[in-house]
Chains A and B, each alone.
Chain A
Amino acid sequence: MQTWSLVSISVLLAVVVRWGVSLNSYSGAGKPPMFGDYEAQRHWQEVTYNLPLQQWYFNTSDNDLNYWGLDYPPLTAYHSWLCAYVAKMINPEWVELHRSRGFESPAHKLFMRTTVLVTDVLIYIPAVVLYCLYLTDGSAKKRVSVLLSILLYPGLILIDYVSLGFTLWGVLALGLGWDTLGSMAFSLALNYKQMELYHALPFFCYLLGKCLKAGLVGRGFILLVRIAAAVLVTFALCWLPFLPDTSQALQVVRRIFPVARGLFEDKVANTWCSLNTLIKIRSILTGDSQLYLSFAFTLLAALPSSIRLLIKPTFWHFKLALVNSSLAFFLFSYQVHEKSILLAALPVCLLLNEFPFMSIWFLQASTFSMLPLFLKDGLPVPYAVTSVGYLFLTVYLLSPLDDRSEGDLKLGTCDKLFFFLPKMHLACMMRWKFYISNALMAVLSILSVVLDPPPHLPDLFPVLVSTAAFLHFLGAFLHFNILQFSEPPSKKSQKKNN
């Protein structure tokens, strides 16, 4: 079969699965007074459509910031504004100021789901297709397998994350050598969602490293200037309406980075929340010192991979650094949300071809870490279906457990640490760990759905889930950091594996 037909079938399958999942409940359905993320998105449409741009980020009589106030960068606001125009055309009630609060109807759900699907189809899916066709090694079948594995990653199906589409375009452009376009795409991502800062260090270090390598006095300098100009222009264009008035711009920044919310809120699979089961950090330290502590740790965790990337700016190292940096931020930074693991999951998806075993394991754990969220949103069935399906699909398509793919396991680097163990033994051990961890995730998932927690420990299952996920993430963080300091496999050995 031709590649185009396989690719189109994969894309169509991905769309069907996305739509199938979207037929289910959504965040905050029928839960007044605050509802959920769905209402937040709808409310932003209402606000951006009805209020002048100067009021979007300000608390006014028409704009109650305590009720899902806009706290994303301008690009998200523009997107909401655009969607609101379409909504207004279909049914003005959907975006009527004040009176549309908590609006719910099947038709409106359909509209919201369609906006998400359209953005996915326009931005995310083409980027994945191009990435797999142009930046993945191997036969056509192998590329399609990777494509399907990325497109069907449950985390990004169950929770939509538009900004990752822009990031992916950035990665794609850098991979193809179009550094200016890549930095523009990434600037758009940053202006869509501030969380994209998780990826900023690798982008910065990769591009800077490339400039340094080309020589800062010669071609490198021109490149640097071009990239800087591209970034500045993109930012300026995105912020143009807010720039004339400094107070406007500052208010946007304050809304985007709320530091007053504490070290962590819900049960997140990061260091602080997991540590909290042992030490109650929040009661020991003041708010400010929590902020500095987390900042210091994040920087320390992200630094090694960034420095390495600065010295060795290859695309292979860049992808690894994206994983490492986003994981460092997720594990140690301030005010992390469960959903932010998706920022680490996307670059891991890009490594599926190189390191199938670790990537699949990590992706499985990342979906699992959001389990409490899915249960809250009433998505247990889609969660179960997509994650079981994903495990099955990737194990079948990418055969990470095969003896042949042991080279892919990249255990060579671990050998240095576990030199006292014979190599075969280590591979076998890793495989057993994989089985056990998947079984553990399955058992915990089932228990969270079926059992009611004991009354004196109401958060028992979310804590167990987040701690288990945290251990996985920490392990993955160490593993990918070790890999970051190894060399990419030579082309020859890659060909042998194919």
Chain B
Amino acid sequence: MAALADSWSWFVALAVGVSLLKCLFINAYHSTDFEVHRNWLAITHSLPVSRWYRENTSEWTLDYPPLFAWFEFGLSQAAQHFDRNMVQVENLDYASPSTVLFQRLSVVFTDLVFIYAVRECCRCVQGLKGSQDVLNRPSFVLAVLLLWNFGLLIVDHVHFQYNGFLFGFLLLSVAKHLQSQHLQGALLFAILLNLKHIYLYVAPAYGIFLLRSFCFTQDHRDRSIRWSSFSPLRLLALSGIVTSVFAVSFGPFVVMGQLSQVLSRLFPFKRGLCHAYWAPNIWALYNTVDKVLAVLGVRLKLLEEAELPRASMTGGLVQEFQHSVLPSISPSITLVCTLLSVLPAVVSIWRRPRGSRTFLRCLLLCALASFMFGWHVHEKAILIAILPLSILAVESREDAGIFLVLTTTGHYSLFPLLYTPAELPIKVCLMLMFTIFSFTALRKLHRAQGSLLRPLEVVYLLGLVVVAISCEFIFPLSPWQQKLPFLPLLVTSVYCAAGVSYSFLRLYVTLLRSDEKPKQL
């Protein structure tokens, strides 16, 4: 029996099953990101390194850090055997069947990193002993929540991106920290930063945690810092690892004198506050309030309609958005807001470090804070919070409740990503599958501690169903479709923004409350 309980055959089944399912979406709709990555294959394959960040034949210039460029270079070595024309820079919008096959399969295969990372995470979760049924084991539930994650499936395998590969590094690094192998964790995170710089958002959590809990080896009894326990050796090792990764990545470009060119590609501030479709965050609410005020102002004759800046709400193009009533938001304001909102969390783990799980919570808060307040946030970024939160959700009831609200709203906010009618059944069914599973499995997991959701949360989530049905099915058939085409997007992002903000606040409360507990004792 022990052999059976320890066997990981269910994990293999889950992984193989989902990988095969991914292969079925090869011919599904893919977004412009498909061409973006094809172009990068071509750039890295056919041009010398010195031109990688200068090339601009295509509008989709290389704007990921150098290690990702090298990753594309590696892929292109295989790609040329599928279709030589794929790796030509001049072949814009090239999508022959073998190109599609190769690109899709490359995502499926690089997801092996993710699968390995999930396995490591599953080993870290503490399960209740004595649960014989595989379906009710925390590690099984976690594996499904991560491997079969709805968001990751549609973003990577329908919309097309390499998030699974990248999240593999993030989760692996988190797992290493949970296993107290901090140097490995730091190395993985440094690599991740050089693959995609969006993870800079969670870097504060890493930095403070490693500095505080790794470089200081001991605490006082009340968990406050003991300055004398500082270990220079550890700091040296840590900084050595991080610097060498960055040196490998950016070194060649520094030598070629292209650092500023690379950085200007990595951080384009030309884009607007919000993406064409507003990610469900504070700025979506802010924009809506602004719009409502503008309309009210015109109605009440307080404002002249002609004086208002002409701005199409969601024109489909990445563009500047001018507010009519409320003050406009500049990138620096968003940066300040983000830093301010991260601050309490970071201070909390500095003052009273409580192990790797609190670090994970802080990481989540950083991710969510940047999602809430960041500049030009994309709705896909919610996955940075959803995936690591799964680990906490299988371990505690309260986190499970937050997880359910956050994933359901966050995942639903991804719906506009797939707008083609042919993909409608896929997104609806996959979402339902994931949601049904997460609700029933987590409820079963935490059945001893009572219900997961508060009554108001239940009402909110049921409201989401109403929103979904009206936006996806009723609205396209109604006469409003012509007059107010942006309305479903607006409603979706505002409704989801409420849920995401709520989850953010609740998660904050759990961190700060656990901060106070030792005092009460």
Within 8 Å CB of A141, what residues of B?
135
A1 with B425, Cβ < 8 A, contacts A20-B28, A389-B20 known: no
Per-residue interface assignment for chain A, residues 48 to 59, with 1 indicating a CB less than 8 Å from any chain B CB and 0 otherwise: 000000000000
Within 8 Å CB of B422, what residues of A?
23, 106, 110
Within 8 Å CB of A2, what residues of B?
440
Q: Is A9 in contact with B436, judged by CB distance below 8 angstroms?
A: yes
Assess whether B441 is interfacial by the CB under 8 Å rule.
yes
Contact partner of B425 (CB less than 8 A), chosen from A16, A25, A385, is A16
Within 8 Å CB of B9, what residues of A?
396
Assess whether A15 is interfacial by the CB under 8 Å rule.
yes
Q: Is A110 in contact with B25, judged by CB distance below 8 angstroms?
A: no
Within 8 Å CB of B136, what residues of A?
1
Per-residue interface assignment for chain B, residues 7 to 45, with 1 indicating a CB less than 8 Å from any chain A CB and 0 otherwise: 001000100110011011111100000000000000000
Q: Which of B409-466 contact A (CB under 8 A)?
A: 421-422, 425-426, 429-430, 432-433, 436-437, 439-441, 444
Q: Is B433 in contact with A16, judged by CB distance below 8 angstroms?
A: yes
Contact partner of B21 (CB less than 8 A), chosen from A5, A9, A20, A106, is A20
**Alpha-carbon separation in the docked complex, A19 to B433 (Å):** 15
Assess whether A281 is interfacial by the CB under 8 Å rule.
no
A385 with B135, Cβ < 8 A, contacts A16-B433, A392-B13 known: no
B191 to chain A, nearest CB (A): 31
**Alpha-carbon separation in the docked complex, A12 to B440 (Å):** 15
Within 8 Å CB of A393, what residues of B?
13, 17
Assess whether B101 is interfacial by the CB under 8 Å rule.
yes
**Alpha-carbon separation in the docked complex, A375 to B440 (Å):** 41
Chain A residue with Cβ nearest B136? A1
Which of B20, B26, B437, B444 has the most chain A CB atoms inside 10 A of its CB? B20
Contact partner of B24 (CB less than 8 A), chosen from A5, A106, A110, A385, is A385
A23 with B429, Cβ < 8 A, contacts A1-B441, A388-B20 known: no
A15 with B429, Cβ < 8 A, contacts A20-B28, A21-B24 known: yes
Contact partner of A13 (CB less than 8 A), chosen from B425, B433, B439, is B433
Q: Is B421 in contact with A110, judged by CB distance below 8 angstroms?
A: yes
Q: Is B24 in contact with A12, judged by CB distance below 8 angstroms?
A: no
Within 8 Å CB of A442, what residues of B?
none
**Alpha-carbon separation in the docked complex, A2 to B136 (Å):** 11
Per-residue interface assignment for chain A, residues 413 to 446, with 1 indicating a CB less than 8 Å from any chain B CB and 0 otherwise: 0000000000000000000000000000000000
Q: Is B26 in contact with A1, judged by CB distance below 8 angstroms?
A: no
Chain B residue with Cβ nearest A110? B422
What bracket does the count of chain A residues touching chain B fall in?
A: 20 to 34
Q: Is B429 in contact with A381, judged by CB distance below 8 angstroms?
A: no
A-B Cβ contacts below 8 A, count = 75
Q: Is B101 in contact with A381, judged by CB distance below 8 angstroms?
A: yes
Assess whether A65 is interfacial by the CB under 8 Å rule.
no
Q: Is A382 in contact with B429, judged by CB distance below 8 angstroms?
A: no
Within 8 Å CB of A389, what residues of B?
16-17, 20-21
Assess whether A299 is interfacial by the CB under 8 Å rule.
no
A12 with B429, Cβ < 8 A, contacts A17-B24, A23-B25 known: yes
**Alpha-carbon separation in the docked complex, A366 to B20 (Å):** 20
Within 8 Å CB of B444, what residues of A?
1
**Alpha-carbon separation in the docked complex, A21 to B27 (Å):** 9
Which of A20, A388, A396 has the most chain B CB atoms inside 10 A of its CB? A20
Q: Is B23 in contact with A8, judged by CB distance below 8 angstroms?
A: no
Assess whether A91 is interfacial by the CB under 8 Å rule.
no
Q: Is B26 in contact with A381, judged by CB distance below 8 angstroms?
A: yes
Contact partner of A20 (CB less than 8 A), chosen from B24, B436, B437, is B24
Assess whether A117 is interfacial by the CB under 8 Å rule.
yes
B24 to chain A, nearest CB (A): 3
**Alpha-carbon separation in the docked complex, A393 to B9 (Å):** 12
Within 8 Å CB of A15, what residues of B?
425, 429
Assess whether A289 is interfacial by the CB under 8 Å rule.
no
A16 with B430, Cβ < 8 A, contacts A5-B436, A9-B436 known: yes
Within 8 Å CB of B17, what residues of A?
389, 392-393
Chain A residue with Cβ nearest B437? A9
Chain B residue with Cβ nearest A141? B135
A385 with B440, Cβ < 8 A, contacts A12-B429, A19-B426 known: no
Q: Which of A99-145 contact B (CB under 8 A)?
A: 106, 110, 117, 141
Within 8 Å CB of B27, what residues of A?
23-25
**Alpha-carbon separation in the docked complex, A12 to B21 (Å):** 13
Within 8 Å CB of A19, what residues of B?
425-426, 429
Within 8 Å CB of B20, what residues of A?
385-386, 388-389, 392
Q: Is B433 in contact with A9, judged by CB distance below 8 angstroms?
A: yes
A114 to chain B, nearest CB (A): 8
**Alpha-carbon separation in the docked complex, A5 to B101 (Å):** 34
Q: Which of B99-143 contact A (CB under 8 A)?
A: 101, 135-136
Q: Is B441 in contact with A17, judged by CB distance below 8 angstroms?
A: no
**Alpha-carbon separation in the docked complex, A388 to B429 (Å):** 23
Within 8 Å CB of A392, what residues of B?
13, 16-17, 20
Chain B residue with Cβ nearest A5? B440
Within 8 Å CB of B421, what residues of A?
110
Q: Is A17 in contact with B21, judged by CB distance below 8 angstroms?
A: yes
Contact partner of B440 (CB less than 8 A), chosen from A1, A16, A117, A388, is A1
Within 8 Å CB of A12, what residues of B?
429-430, 432-433, 436
Within 8 Å CB of B425, what residues of A?
15-16, 19, 117
Q: Which 7 residue pairs across A and B have the least CB separation, nearest first?
A: A20-B24, A5-B440, A389-B20, A12-B433, A385-B23, A19-B425, A16-B429
B interface, CB within 8 angstroms of A: 9, 13, 16-17, 20-21, 23-28, 101, 135-136, 421-422, 425-426, 429-430, 432-433, 436-437, 439-441, 444
8 A-B interface contacts by CB (under 8 A): A8-B432, A9-B433, A12-B430, A23-B28, A117-B425, A381-B23, A386-B20, A389-B17
Query: Given A5-B436, A9-B437, 16 more contacts at CB 8 Å?
Result: A1-B136, A8-B436, A12-B429, A12-B432, A15-B425, A16-B430, A17-B24, A19-B426, A20-B21, A23-B24, A23-B28, A117-B425, A141-B135, A382-B24, A385-B23, A392-B16
